[in-house]
A = this chain, B = another copy of it.
């Protein structure tokens, strides 16, 4: 029988510009994760998946999964792997761990996501970013760093759907206001519309607050088969109902949509994840979507089916992603406010959705039964979705 898989607990380091090594951050997150599941000892964890994209370049460390395990006192016997899908590494790690537990190859896996993005040599920060696009076909032609790419996306969305700079700013204002109360967030500040609109431009039309920051941070979650999950805690069980990851291109010249603001690969991933999880967008009570830029979240609410195509701007401006709105999103602050240490982000998203479904979130969506995380990577290469529920798929 395919086993049911639960997310049991999680923990995070403080996120931000940290005077700490990658392993310091991992240990900070791991400690909080173990504290969140007091019944669990490191020796009970039989697998470790480490989500990290850049330690090979920035930290001069490949084959990092066994090191991560050692630093956490874990001795894996089912799996000990590092996964890199850049910004989506974390949720990819969760999908891979799901398969191993569901199929009976593992019982309890810790999925750790971490990134040391802020390096003392500041040029290396940007140098490394240039390793994130398609090096042969995009980067050599100057399309490498994400901000210019997402600025083009924003311009296309404005052109085709009339989206405004105010609507972009609203994404940041709403997400920052959630993050202001989150002690782990890189920015714990409330943001006004005026501040957002008057901020310096990074790449027009994107201002400083339309872009997520450069972040050091780590996060960790425990996944377990249903039987073990019941043993480990008394909190309500939260099941992984399903998920999917889709890619239709890599080089931007092969963009799969009509234009850069049309994201069919997200639609493909969402459709498959909804099918596997046996739910539709109308069933999702709370979501985390990948707001690496404010424009991303606008397009994501469309392609995920929370509103009609092209209406993401008005949807967010009218408060539909706030608590009490149609679908509360990024209720911990999202990438814009909490930050974006690549491998860590998907894990942070999972923790927030788990807490929402367990009824212990900071900004609680009352009675949330079904939650979704969405993660994308690089210059919009692929989309990763995981759907969680208080009830398993039947």
Contact = CB atoms under 8 A, between A and B. Distances in A.
A66 B83 CA distance: 13
A340 interface: no
A134 B250 CA distance: 32
Interface string A82-126: 111111000010011011111111100000000000000000000
Interface residues on A, range: 35 or more
Nearest to A105: B99
A79 to B, nearest CB: 5
A141 interface: no
A378 interface: yes
B56 A247 contact: no
A132 B65 CA distance: 11
Number of copies: 2
A377 interface: yes
A308 interface: no
A228 interface: no
A377 B48 CA distance: 16
Interface in A352-393: 377-378, 381-382
B82 A83 contact: yes
Q: Which of A69, A101, A105, A135 has the most CB of B within 10 A?
A: A105
Given A2-B104, A76-B245, A77-B272, A84 B96 contact: no
A82 B48 CA distance: 16
A323 interface: no
Contacts of A21: 136
Given A131-B56, A136-B21, A381-B66, A244 B99 contact: no
Contacts of A245: 76-81
A230 interface: no
Contact of A254 (B70, B139, B242, B276): B70
Contacts of A81: 83-85, 92, 95-96, 245
B62 A54 contact: yes
Contacts of A105: 95, 98-99, 102, 242-244, 276
Contact of A131 (B60, B70, B79, B132): B60
Given A53-B62, A95-B105, A100-B99, A134 B67 contact: yes
Interface in A1-50: 1-2, 21, 23, 48
Q: Which of A48, A75, A247 has the most CB of B within 10 A?
A: A247
A208 interface: no
Q: Which of A23, A81, A100, A254 has the most CB of B within 10 A?
A: A81
A59 interface: yes
B56 A54 contact: yes
A29 B77 CA distance: 31
B78 A63 contact: no
A377 B66 contact: yes
